């Protein structure tokens, strides 16, 4: 799995950082998403998918590897 974020789309809702704090964080000044781990371990995959699903603006892209 690879994860990409679009900081320009991000509205700072912060659900990603709550759901998968090892993978996502937020900038202190405006709350925009920070990607901490572009290739999270298998133990984080379920949380990353959930974070992407609940993102209100679709700023998180999950690329599943074959």
Other Cβ atoms closer than 10 A to 22: 14
* Sequence-ordered strand ranges (E) for the chain: 2-5, 24-26, 33-35, 60-63
H or E element: which one contains 15?
A: helix 15-19
> Which residue, among 22, 24, 23, has the nearest Cα to 14 in the 3D structure?
24
Per-residue pLDDT of the chain (66 residues; tens, 9 = 90+): 999 999 999 999 999 999 999 999 999 999 999 999 999 999 999 999 999 999 999 999 999 987
């Amino acid at each position: 799995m690879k994860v990409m974020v679009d900081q320009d789309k991000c509205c700072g809702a912060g659900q990603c950082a709550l759901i998968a704090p090892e993978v996502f964080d937020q900038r202190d000044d405006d709350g925009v998403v920070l990607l901490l781990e572009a290739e999270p371990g298998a133990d984080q995959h379920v949380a990353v998918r959930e974070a992407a699903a609940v993102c209100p603006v679709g700023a998180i892209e999950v690329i599943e590897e074959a």
